[in-house]
């Protein structure tokens, strides 16, 4: 019995010593792996940024317009194409003009028109833009972006629109997603077809996410790329005070 106890104690001490010695090595290995993961993540973020950025040629083409304050040139991919590939929410199909970021709490969404039969790559005519549940979007037509102002009839409805102040009004906005309002001969909708060389306007009211926002933006689809993305040139006409959440 004495010998068995002595042997058990010796083995226990030896194992403790081995674990004590190997623990720092494992810690060092995991620490190094973490550093490598962080480096790869930074590289992936940079690669994705390059992938989403408009080309130098496109930037140069619209350089004069982009001198305007609160303007930009962005690339959107249709929802469902790169959802599982890109880090950006919805595979870079959502964008927030208010926060200048690809964000689920977005002002605009680029997506295929829902169909009964799946079609991974529908033609551009079968895509649509959507906006926030309590906002509206309108197609203005083939009008130069710089010509659209707050005094235009098509903009007046969007500018005067009052955000919902109660939960009931906000919920009504959700139920109204597929409806539209007709004013001054224009249809203000939740979703509109995507057409190259057309100008649009939207009033987007967003609650939650990284904060409430309320904006009026005009934008134009300036090009469709061979990779299914669209380039959007945009200009913010008004940034309204952030609305309080409906009560």
3-state SS, one letter per residue, for 93-145: CEEECCCCECCCCCCEEEEECCCCCCCCCCCHHHEEEEECCCCEEEEEECCCH
**How sure is the predictor about 247, in pLDDT bands with cuts at 50, 70 and 90?**
confident
Handedness of CA 214, 157, 200, 67 (dihedral sign): negative
Mean of pLDDT values over 152-166: 88
Which token pair is 217? 């933006």
β-partners of residue 191 are 130
CA 143 to chain centre: 26
Higher pLDDT, 10 or 127: 127
Handedness of CA 52, 58, 60, 66 (dihedral sign): negative
Average pLDDT, the chain: 83
β-partners of residue 130 are 109, 191
CA 94 to chain centre: 3
What Cα–Cα distance (Å) separates residue 187 from each residue in 87, 111, 154, 232? Answer: 35, 20, 9, 21
What Cα–Cα distance (Å) separates residue 92 from each residue in 35, 73, 104, 170? Answer: 27, 14, 9, 26
β-partners of residue 139 are 200
pTM of the model: 0.80
Q: What is the pLDDT of residue 24?
A: 54
Higher pLDDT, 51 or 178: 51
Which token pair is 214? 């309320």
- pLDDT tens for residues 38-81? 888 888 899 999 999 999 999 999 999 999 999 999 999 999 99
First to last CA, the chain: 77
């Amino acid at each position: 019995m004495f010998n068995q106890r002595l042997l058990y104690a010796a083995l226990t001490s030896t194992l403790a010593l081995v674990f004590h010695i190997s623990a720092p090595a494992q810690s060092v290995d995991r620490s190094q792996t973490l550093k490598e993961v962080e480096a790869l993540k930074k590289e992936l973020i940079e690669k994705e940024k390059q992938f989403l950025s408009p080309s130098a040629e496109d930037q140069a083409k619209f350089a004069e317009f982009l001198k305007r304050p609160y303007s930009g040139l962005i690339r959107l991919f249709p929802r469902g194409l790169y959802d599982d590939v890109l880090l950006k929410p919805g595979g870079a199909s959502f964008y927030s003009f208010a926060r200048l970021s690809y964000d689920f709490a977005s002002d605009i969404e680029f997506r295929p028109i829902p169909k009964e039969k799946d079609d991974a790559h529908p033609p551009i005519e079968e895509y649509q833009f959507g906006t926030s549940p309590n906002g509206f979007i309108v197609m203005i037509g083939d009008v130069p972006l710089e010509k659209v102002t707050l005094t235009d009839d098509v903009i007046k409805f969007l500018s005067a629109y009052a955000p919902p102040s109660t939960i009931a009004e906000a919920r009504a906005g959700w139920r109204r997603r597929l409806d539209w309002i007709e004013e001054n001969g224009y249809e203000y909708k939740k979703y509109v077809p995507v057409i190259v060389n057309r100008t649009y306007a939207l009033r987007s009211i967003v609650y939650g996410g990284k904060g409430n926002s309320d904006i009026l933006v005009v934008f134009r689809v300036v090009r469709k790329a061979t990779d299914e993305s669209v380039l959007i040139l945009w200009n913010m006409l008004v940034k309204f005070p952030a609305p309080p959440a409906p009560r």
